[in-house]
Amino acid sequence: MTEVEKALKQCGFGLFHVRLLTTSFLGMLSIVFVSSTTAFLLPDAECDLKMDLAQKGLLTAIPFIGMALTSIFTSFLSDAFGRKQSILTGLGGMFIFTCISASSQSFEMLLTSKFFEGVLYSTYLCSSISLVSEFCHSGIRDQVLLFNNMQSCLGMIVLSAMSWAILLNEWKYTFFGGRFVLHTWNVYLYAMSLFTLTAFIMFIFVPESPHYLISQNKYAEVRDVLTRIYRENHRNSGDKFPFKDLWKDTITNQETKLKISKTSFANKLVTSLHKVKQIFKKPLVFYLITMIGINSAMLIIYDVLRLWLPQIWTIIEHTSFETDDGQTRDICQLLDYYNNNNMTISKIDIKNTTTECIPNKSGYQTYLLNMMVNGASCLSLILSSILVKRLGKKILIITASVLAFVTLVVLRWASSKIAVIVLLTTVISVSSALVNLNRIMAVEYFPTSSRTLAVATMMIFGRMGTLSGNIGFPILLKIDSTLPFYVMDAVMFGVIMLSLLLPSTKK
């Protein structure tokens, strides 16, 4: 592994990494669409699918149930059988189930297909994080990973722009005598599936991770991959690569061993299980527990605010902060007023004989706000990539946690659109940086043979946080609109306490 690190430093950063990040950006768009399209289509689809507030919460959370149930298994397969194979499986499966989601004619059909999208999401994400990190030497790894993670914010900007362009239309196509109907939100999901298909095709041409190949003793393939990176980055034939003859003797000996005894599927499983035991020993197990706690808590806040932002802003668009008697409501009082007046689901006609479902659709302000919030998240990640070298990840995480806590406390009392925009933008962008800094620490602290499993373990508990947050948010909101804010304040305070336990430097 030390020799691979030295070879990667000679390769530097260049065209190969630009192509890799471009490909991973398309993959990131795919998983952003899986996790976030529901938030945008809810106002449009609530009448077509006859959804109430609880069903909206379940539909928003269902992809994360799929992620939580399968993350450990899919990450283990990635560590055992390769990053690239898991990536292609995840993207191919997501394309199929996104097309099924787009064809949905009922709430149950959309719910089921979104669940399987979440299963394939976890198959892709853990492997892609490991793959990108393992093509970078330690000098550029933090910056590349922060940029790679920033792609999710860029993806949300693209998603907001596409949602604005598509969902404001009134489209309805009927087939087979009315048995199959495509509304605007169906077309919207079909459009999203094209990005997943493109990412799948582009990842076919990305090589396997050199760290994974060396862990499998495939020395000849590692040398070929490293030479390819050097050749693309330096625009030459690769003859000047100092490591072009690396492991030639080792390759010969290893190939002789492989001819005597081929590794079976069962042997790979047993070997991988033996390797991952080290993350459950001191000190790694304590690092893992701390990082899991921070990740889970942050995703409760980040994903709830991010995924419910379009719905919350739609409410703000259709409700005024000013009361009829000239008083000013805070955000909690505004949400209570909206819920108590049941303004979201129906309108009775003049004769009062039938009820027609008239959804309060999102206006252009909702999409502009999402673009602005995610633009701020991109800036926060850029700032993090600059500060991380000077302050270190631990100090940066503590500082950002305190800032997010203060912002959440103030948000509870916000009483104007401008105040809500500023505070939501701040807390979401800071939370995004915290989630990504925590993931980078996991990539740095855990070895190749168990890195994807460590990230996936964090993911499974994190998705439980997302799941509980998205199901609990509408329930708490219905009981008392202040409860979600107090719960988020308590969770954020817990993050501050846990961040104090993080290791300062890797030993």
Per-residue pLDDT of the chain (507 residues; tens, 9 = 90+): 788 888 888 888 888 888 988 998 898 888 888 878 887 887 778 777 877 767 877 888 788 888 777 777 776 677 677 788 889 988 999 999 999 999 888 888 989 999 998 888 878 887 887 888 888 887 777 777 777 767 877 888 888 888 888 888 888 888 887 788 888 889 999 999 999 999 999 999 989 888 888 877 888 888 888 888 888 888 887 777 887 777 776 655 555 455 444 455 566 556 655 656 666 777 778 888 888 888 888 888 888 888 778 777 777 777 777 777 777 888 888 877 776 665 444 443 444 444 556 666 666 777 888 888 888 888 887 888 788 778 888 888 899 999 999 999 998 888 888 888 889 889 988 988 888 888 778 777 777 666 667 777 787 788 788 778 877 887 887 788 888 889 999 999 999 999 888 877 554
pLDDT of residue 332: 81
Backbone CA torsion sign across 131, 132, 135, 137: negative
Cis upstream peptide for 242 (omega within 30°): no
Instruction: Give me the DSSP letters along 47-72.
Output: TTTT--HHHHHHHHHHHHHHHHHHHH
pLDDT of residue 316: 78
Which residues, 6+ apart, have CB-to-CB distance to 303 below 8 Å? 35, 64, 465, 466, 469, 470
Residue 80's Cβ-count burial label (10 Å; 0-12, 13-18, 19+) is buried
Among candidate residues 414, 385, 398, 425, the one with its CA nearest the CA of residue 302: 425
Q: What is the CA radius of gyration of the chain?
A: 24
Q: How many CB atoms lie within 10 A of CB 269?
A: 14
The Cα 85–Cα 32 span in angstroms is 21
Distance between the two ends of the chain, CA-based, in angstroms?
Answer: 16
Backbone CA torsion sign across 95, 97, 101, 102: positive
pLDDT of residue 448: 62
Max alpha carbon distance in the chain (Å)?
89
pLDDT of residue 250: 64
Q: How far is CA 294 from CA 67, 208, 463, in A?
A: 18, 31, 12
The Cα 324–Cα 326 span in angstroms is 6
pLDDT of residue 351: 43
The Cα 215–Cα 276 span in angstroms is 13
pLDDT of residue 490: 92
pLDDT of residue 264: 54
Among candidate residues 303, 250, 404, the one with its CA nearest the CA of residue 63: 303
Among candidate residues 335, 412, 452, the one with its CA nearest the CA of residue 82: 452
Q: How many CB atoms lie within 10 A of CB 233?
A: 17
Residue carrying structure tokens 């988020």 = 488
* Fold category of 2-216+263-499 in CATH: Growth Hormone; Chain: A; (1.20.1250)
Q: Which residue ranges make up each domain of the chain?
A: 2-216+263-499
For residue 181, what are the β-bridge partners? Answer: 174
Residue carrying structure tokens 């505004």 = 334
pLDDT of residue 346: 42
